[in-house]
Structure 1
Amino acid sequence: MKKIYFLFYFLVTFSLFSQQQEDAWLFLRDKPDSTSYITSPRLMLSQRAIDRRNNLQIIIDGTDVPMHQPYVDNIKAVSGITILGKSKWLNAVHIQATKTIIDDSFSNLPFIKRVEFANKTFNNLAQKSSKKLVLNHQNKFNNHQTEFNYGSTNDQIKMLKGDYLHAQGLTGKGQIIAVIDAGFPNVKTLEAFKRLRDNNQILGGYDFVERSANFYSGNNHGTNVLSTIGGYLENQFVGTAPDAFFYLFRTENAPVEVPLEETLWVEAAERADSLGVDVINTSLGYTTFDNPDYNYSYADMNGKTTFISRGAEIAANKGILVVNSAGNEGNKTWKYITAPGDAPSVITVGAVDINKNIASFSSFGPTSDNRVKPEILAKGASVAVINHANGAIVSSNGTSFSSPIMAGLIACLNGNEGFLLKFSTDNKSKRQKNFNNYLKEAVYRSADRYANPTDQYGYGIPDFEVALNNYIGSTASLEEEYLQTIKILPNPIITIFNIDGVQGEIKEYKIQIFDILGKKVFQQNNVISNEIDISYLEKGVYFVKVSKENKNKTIKVIKN
């Protein structure tokens, strides 16, 4: 009798197992129409996106090409499957069906390269892990809030010397930031976002969860995050990039934790790329799911296992500065950073308090392949944010806020790129290193623990005054080796400077002066004197470009 009961139990269990809906990604083998798209990039990318690629010397390739629709149609025609999403970058379709249907329908199709199940035990290359994950995903946005009586963002901006960037006119102007998050309720009505609305700084958005153009919905987490970058209340609250433009994308369905959210994030990043976005902020992270069979292990935090991290790496390689929160797992069982914060090219941000001490909740690195993560830190404890319900300034905790604080300043620093590109065109051989790599290196090197990174601090807290100087120093003097003797004296300058170290006659030289935003404020061909009067210029940072024939040198100067 016991054998009969056991057999019955086995048959019922097997039957239930075979009917369970599984998530899987179908990776397609090719894109037959690639050539026609690559030769006509406006079919798939905006002009701004194309310009960004050209400026950063990033080629347009097959990953930019849309998926081959006949392949997608063939998948859609299979009975019993549901298409949940897809990624052109990874050439993958996210489906849901029983394992039996997936195995029987797609194992032998010639255009299917491979199938990856969210349940890694079904995959031939699944990595085994003995780590047990304990995490309640429903607490991921449960940040403690209290009334913020004095109403100031001073601490979170000045800790990073963000005020120095703003004083130089670098306030995010001309930059486009995509905020990928869980929702943006009341952004279209709250006073703190009126400046964005009045100046048409919200360019659009999309709700990928509901497949809806109404992106002012969902969880309030995205509203809080956006406020730290673009919020503004006169004399009370200023985001880190108040003059930036924004796209708002909802990909996170807060009440649940499912693999589809990874796919939706990649879809949003692809949309951001096609629109020419400069910076992406994501205050999201993935390790465990409602179905524990889909959980990741720490070994998977290697930057190349999770679907979202693979997508984030491609986004960065397309020229987008991707900034991501490290996660709030530092004092939990998981402890470590979350995906996509493990991706090599993502700027991963941890949290400190007002005294620059690490916040206990800030996730630890390194990645499982032993890379420094998080790289940098910003204020994440008692951060000033805008309450989505009543527009009040409140205090909140989480790397969810250290990340956008940092993303805004990254965008401000990146606003200096327009100036740098003026000089890069003179010697294209010097442009083989993506300017974004210069920028990230400049920020990391400015951090207070750069020489001795640790698992939770990473490189530490950056100083954006130092970072700006590092960035300019590493990129502006692209031809310095040809005119090494040229100097500007004195520097800083009050009214007049001298061009020192000239070889030959001064009239053989050409002088141009640019402000911090790259606007030309002075030019003199065939210079008549070593002395240049700039008494009429306002105080600030300028760049003197000294040229002779096809050679030039650029020197940063300060006008007092």
Structure 2
Amino acid sequence: MNKNTLLFIGLLVSICSFSQEDAWVFFNNKPNAASYIANPLTMLSQRALDRREKQNIALDDKDVPVDINYYNQIKNATGITVLAKSKWLNALHIQGTESAITNLKSNYSFIKNIEFANKSIAVSAKTTTVAKQQQKFTETITEFNYGNAANQIKMLHGDFLHQQGFTGSGMQIAIIDAGFTNANTLAAFQRLRDNNQILGGYNFVNRSTNFYTGSSHGTHVLSDIGGYIDGQFVGTAPDASFYLFVSEDTSREVPLEESLWVEAAEKADSLGVDVINTSLGYTTFDNANYNYTYSDMDGKTTFISRGAEIGASRGMVLVNSVGNSGNSSWKYVGAPADAENVLAVGAVDASKTIANFSSYGPTVDGRVKPDVLAQGQAAYVIHYQYGTPATANGTSFSSPILAGVVACFWQAFPNKTHTEIVEAIKQSSDKYNTPDAHYGYGIPNFELAKQTLTISNSNNDFTNVVVYPNPATDTIHFKINEDQSNYQLKIFSLLGEQLLSTTNLSKNIAISHLSSGIYLVQIQHKNQHKNILLVKK
């Protein structure tokens, strides 16, 4: 080995030793937790507290800010830069050399553990094959198609909710995205501005209050929920109110974006937001050492998915695009859509056929993903430059289309918990009984979901009747804890047509003549009745 070779190796070692690494530092505790919990308005708004109380969700240490003394000590440590913080995960996102970061653990006893974004440094590094870098956004726009948004709303029966007066009024939606260029000037958002429906926002990337900058991606996403052009375009929740947060840096793909998303979600929670829409996902990065693999898509590994799970536990509905990698080498759902309690949305076209770009599941631990589907191929948005309707492709748009209807649906049932709302949506979907890796549970029917919850509300005092099996094939049976002769059974189609009536509930009831589908079973007893949705296979 010659001298020049030795010099080159020495230079390479030197560069590696001083290169900047990303890492998360997790703390052991929050010393002032009791004081904060005793004074909840120091950490959460009244609206956020009301949302918790309504759903019987207690405050806990995760709601308490990161300890300021811990923060300052890490910030002032030699060679360390603090880039973000998370109260939910009690962690800081930092940069520094490997040695500077590693030394923190021995220097500060309040540090629980450190996780490097670089998998070769991480203690529990995984060695499965790294996927190919995917594009930042998969979005194409046809600028000359000036149709309307009717199909994408009616596919979900969102128009049914609108007709009943549920248009998102009183509901708050946070959009966490890459920028909202021209949303403050386009006529399509004039209705939002005139009615003060844009409540505020923040640019976490630039640490500024200017969120009407950066990418136009968030503008298109916002239009699918809140855009309005009389006679041409209506978003799925036109009367909802919005917070607009920028967490995505379109110039690069770095782990910091995960931490900024968690900061934004924490802010949304503290403000009392009901629904969060995120048309973002993370799998691979500019630095391949930071890349995730399919084995990381378990909803528990990535920083952003861990944050999303906590966000859901605070009582919000988190809606997230499943990803646009269905026809790429990655194929699978990204983070945070892999999180168990995130409502992950795939894409179909106008005829309800799955879009080939729509990422699919299952998660590595075998859970169904996507959860549901909405139109994301040739979906309509408001073009950020021209201000007119245009078509766009991507699960980036199926997610907000769905999120807006979710807000309208929750408006109809304000006393239901976030879990009850999400479960009703899944159960209303057309493949609920036969989910698969591409379609998940399928396309929700919010008219059916509303009927289901309405029926469940009317049955609170009539619980002694059980119909089984459900789903059923040829016959159904009844369990009644008293004389069955006092009961009458009727079966209706969802359109209200009576298909069967009997007072003999002691025998099996044949339903083989009914086509596969969903029916309303009504049990009457004296002046009471109970309605049950029956699935016929």
Q: TM-score, normalised by structure 1?
A: 0.82
Is 1:436–2:434 an aligned residue pair?
Answer: no
Distance across 1 between alignment mates of 2:405 and 2:487: 33
Amino acid at match of 1:387: H
CA displacement, residues 264-303 of structure 1 (integer Å, 9 cap, x when unaligned): 0000000000000000000000001111100000000000
Contact 1:286–1:339 under 8 Å retained in 2: yes
Contact 2:146–2:388 under 8 Å retained in 1: no
Is 1:371–2:346 an aligned residue pair?
Answer: no
Q: Percent identity?
A: 54
Corresponding residue number in structure 1 for 2:109:
110
Amino acid at match of 1:260: L
Distance across 1 between alignment mates of 2:300 and 2:3: 47
Unaligned runs of 5+ in 1: 422-434, 493-547
- Alpha-carbon distance, 1:124 to partner: 1.4
Distance across 1 between alignment mates of 2:275 and 2:338: 18
Distance across 1 between alignment mates of 2:403 and 2:110: 39
3-state SS of paired residue (2:463): helix
CA displacement, residues 305-354 of structure 1 (integer Å, 9 cap, x when unaligned): 00000000000010010000000000011111110000000000000001
Is 1:74–2:73 an aligned residue pair?
Answer: yes
Amino acid at match of 1:56: Q
Shift of the 476–61 alpha-carbon distance from structure 1 to 2, 3 Å rule, reads farther
- Alpha-carbon distance, 1:6 to partner: 4.5
Contact 1:476–1:554 under 8 Å retained in 2: yes
Aligned partner (choices 432, 438, 444) of residue 462 of structure 1? 444
Corresponding residue number in structure 2 for 1:14:
13
Tell which deviates more after alignment, 178-187 or 146-155. 146-155
Corresponding residue number in structure 1 for 2:165:
169
Corresponding residue number in structure 2 for 1:317:
313
Is 1:223–2:211 an aligned residue pair?
Answer: no
Contact 1:478–1:553 under 8 Å retained in 2: no
Is 1:356–2:356 an aligned residue pair?
Answer: no
- Alpha-carbon distance, 1:216 to partner: 0.8
1:383-422 equivalences in 2 (<5 Å): 383-418=379-414, 420=415
Distance across 1 between alignment mates of 2:429 and 2:68: 47
Poorly superposed stretches of 4+, deviation over 4 Å? 3-6, 482-487, 552-556
1:171-186 equivalences in 2 (<5 Å): 171-186=167-182
Distance across 1 between alignment mates of 2:145 and 2:2: 70
Corresponding residue number in structure 2 for 1:196:
192
Is 1:134–2:132 an aligned residue pair?
Answer: yes
3-state SS of paired residue (2:439): coil
Q: TM-score, normalised by structure 2?
A: 0.86
Shift of the 221–12 alpha-carbon distance from structure 1 to 2, 3 Å rule, reads same
Amino acid at match of 1:265: W
CA displacement, residues 176-205 of structure 1 (integer Å, 9 cap, x when unaligned): 000000000111110100000011100000
- Alpha-carbon distance, 1:3 to partner: 5.5
Distance across 2 between alignment mates of 1:5 and 1:17: 18
Corresponding residue number in structure 2 for 1:335:
331
Contact 2:145–2:391 under 8 Å retained in 1: no
Distance across 2 between alignment mates of 1:298 and 1:104: 31
Contact 2:160–2:447 under 8 Å retained in 1: yes
Distance across 1 between alignment mates of 2:119 and 2:28: 21
Corresponding residue number in structure 1 for 2:501:
none
CA displacement, residues 422-451 of structure 1 (integer Å, 9 cap, x when unaligned): xxxxxxxxxxxxx22221111111111111
Distance across 1 between alignment mates of 2:408 and 2:106: 49
Aligned partner (choices 278, 281, 291) of residue 287 of structure 2? 291
Aligned partner (choices 443, 449, 455) of residue 473 of structure 1? 455
Corresponding residue number in structure 2 for 1:270:
266
Contact 1:34–1:62 under 8 Å retained in 2: yes
3-state SS of paired residue (2:82): strand
CA displacement, residues 340-372 of structure 1 (integer Å, 9 cap, x when unaligned): 000000000000001110000000100011100
Unaligned runs of 5+ in 2: 466-479, 481-485, 495-526, 533-537
Contact 1:24–1:117 under 8 Å retained in 2: yes
Distance across 2 between alignment mates of 1:476 and 1:262: 43
Distance across 1 between alignment mates of 2:179 and 2:393: 18
Distance across 1 between alignment mates of 2:240 and 2:388: 22
Corresponding residue number in structure 2 for 1:62:
61
Is 1:448–2:430 an aligned residue pair?
Answer: yes
Corresponding residue number in structure 1 for 2:150:
154
Is 1:282–2:264 an aligned residue pair?
Answer: no
3-state SS of paired residue (2:436): coil
Amino acid at match of 1:206: Y
Distance across 2 between alignment mates of 1:223 and 1:486: 56
- Alpha-carbon distance, 1:553 to partner: 9.2
Contact 1:165–1:464 under 8 Å retained in 2: yes
Shift of the 140–459 alpha-carbon distance from structure 1 to 2, 3 Å rule, reads same
Corresponding residue number in structure 2 for 1:527:
none
Shift of the 181–555 alpha-carbon distance from structure 1 to 2, 3 Å rule, reads same
Corresponding residue number in structure 1 for 2:519:
none
CA displacement, residues 366-407 of structure 1 (integer Å, 9 cap, x when unaligned): 001110000110000101101111201111100000000000
